[in-house]
């Protein structure tokens, strides 16, 4: 079996679990962009894979004839063509909720950093300045959550502890949250935090029209998927003052290209996709991923996302 998740290593607890289950492990960590031909090469002779955010396209999957199981060591699986996987008899699983607490805490780090302009202050001091701009308190403000999955639900008690009102767009219901349509959420929220999956419906959801509906003092936080946000529209909205700024942990193309419009815009902070990357969440993801992989091989998968696989 192939392991591409970069924090898993030969000889670690996950490796021991897989070898005890009788599996031979092969490591090819994903540490940046990977050419499809390279991915086809590492999948040669592989029966099962524990993967990071690999671009497992229909073409790549068609050229991996032995592959039968894919387990994503995370929640999102938009990098995998699950339909093509099903057609080739490949089961695809994810790990719902595995890093929800890590993402929720990180979300609040971005909220606090944006509200108090911590990055801009530290950057100014590093450049020999002494910035003294006013920030904002979270207490008394409204937080809008786009999506209500595990990470969004974990954000709610943190927000309430800070004295924030929480609104959300979702068909689900939960305590301490008022559910509204997206236009109302955008127009009433002081902070908008994205926690929804990337689908055809949500791709480009936050576009020029969405930013026009937001408060000029509003801050956007995205820890979900970069393609949910129209990056050119976001830059235009921040530069024109339609919204105050954005704190992004995810972007459309990762790592962030040198010519990205997001670079060098005062008010936009970009981090390197770290929301779920804690030692605790990584260990949980590795072990749960290994358990799901072994369970799937034994015909007792728990989190298959393409039912035909």
Do residues 47 and 69 touch, judged by C-beta distance below 8 A? yes
Contact 67/61 with Cβ under 8 angstroms?
yes
Nearest CA among 187, 203, 193, 194 for reference residue 242 = 187
pLDDT confidence of residue 193: 98
Task: Check the CA dihedral 145-150-153-158 and report its sign.
Answer: negative
DSSP state at residue 179: E
Is the separation of the CB atoms in 265 and 246 below 8 Å? no
Whole-structure pTM over 0.85, yes or no?
Answer: yes
Q: What is the rounded distance in angstroms from the CA atom of residue 189 to the CA atom of residue 153? A: 17
Identify the pLDDT of residue 55: 92
**pLDDT score, position 163:** 98
Q: What is the pLDDT of residue 247?
A: 98
Active site residues: 225, 254, 273
What SS3 class is residue 181? coil
The burial of 265, by beta-carbon neighbours within 10 Å (0-12 exposed, 13-18 middle, 19 or more buried), is given as middle
pLDDT score of 33: 78
Say what the pLDDT of residue 309 is. 42
Residue 30 pLDDT = 86
pLDDT tens for the chain, residues 1 to 309 = 999 999 999 999 999 999 999 999 999 998 877 889 999 999 999 999 999 988 999 999 999 999 999 999 999 999 999 999 999 999 999 999 999 999 999 999 999 999 999 999 999 999 999 999 999 999 999 999 999 999 999 999 999 999 999 999 977 777 889 999 999 999 999 999 999 999 999 999 999 999 999 999 999 999 999 999 999 999 999 999 999 999 999 999 999 999 999 999 999 999 999 999 999 999 999 999 999 999 999 999 999 999 754
Pairing of strands 245-248, 26-27: unpaired
pLDDT the model gives residue 8: 96
């Amino acid at each position: 079996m192939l392991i591409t998740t970069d924090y898993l290593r030969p000889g670690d607890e996950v490796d021991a679990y897989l070898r005890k289950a009788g599996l031979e492990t092969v490591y090819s960590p994903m540490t940046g962009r990977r050419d499809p031909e390279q991915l086809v090469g590492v999948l040669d002779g592989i029966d099962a894979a524990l993967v990071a955010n690999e671009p497992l396209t229909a073409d790549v999957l068609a050229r991996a004839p032995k592959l039968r199981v894919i387990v994503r060591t995370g929640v999102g699986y938009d990098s995998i063509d699950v339909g093509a996987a099903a057609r080739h008899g490949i089961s695809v699983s994810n790990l719902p909720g595995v890093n929800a607490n890590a993402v929720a805490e990180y979300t609040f780090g971005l909220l606090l950093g944006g509200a108090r302009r911590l990055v801009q202050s530290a950057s100014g001091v590093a450049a020999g300045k002494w910035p003294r701009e006013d920030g904002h308190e979270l207490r008394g403000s409204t937080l809008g959550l786009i999506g209500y999955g595990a990470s969004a639900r974990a954000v709610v008690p943190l927000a309430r502890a800070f004295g924030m009102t929480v609104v959300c767009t979702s068909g689900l219901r939960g305590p301490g949250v008022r559910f509204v349509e997206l236009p109302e959420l955008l127009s009433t929220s002081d902070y908008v935090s994205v926690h929804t999956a990337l689908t055809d419906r949500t791709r480009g959801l936050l576009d020029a029209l969405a930013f026009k509906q937001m408060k000029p003092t509003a801050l956007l936080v995205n820890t979900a998927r970069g393609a949910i946000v129209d990056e050119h529209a976001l830059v235009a909205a921040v530069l024109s003052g339609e919204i105050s700024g954005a704190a992004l942990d995810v972007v459309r193309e990762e790592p962030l290209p040198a010519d990205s419009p997001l670079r060098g815009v005062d008010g936009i902070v970009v981090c390197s996709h770290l929301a779920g990357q804690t030692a605790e969440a990584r260990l949980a993801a590795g072990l749960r991923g290994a358990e799901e992989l072994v369970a799937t091989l034994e015909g007792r998968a728990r989190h298959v996302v393409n039912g035909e696989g």
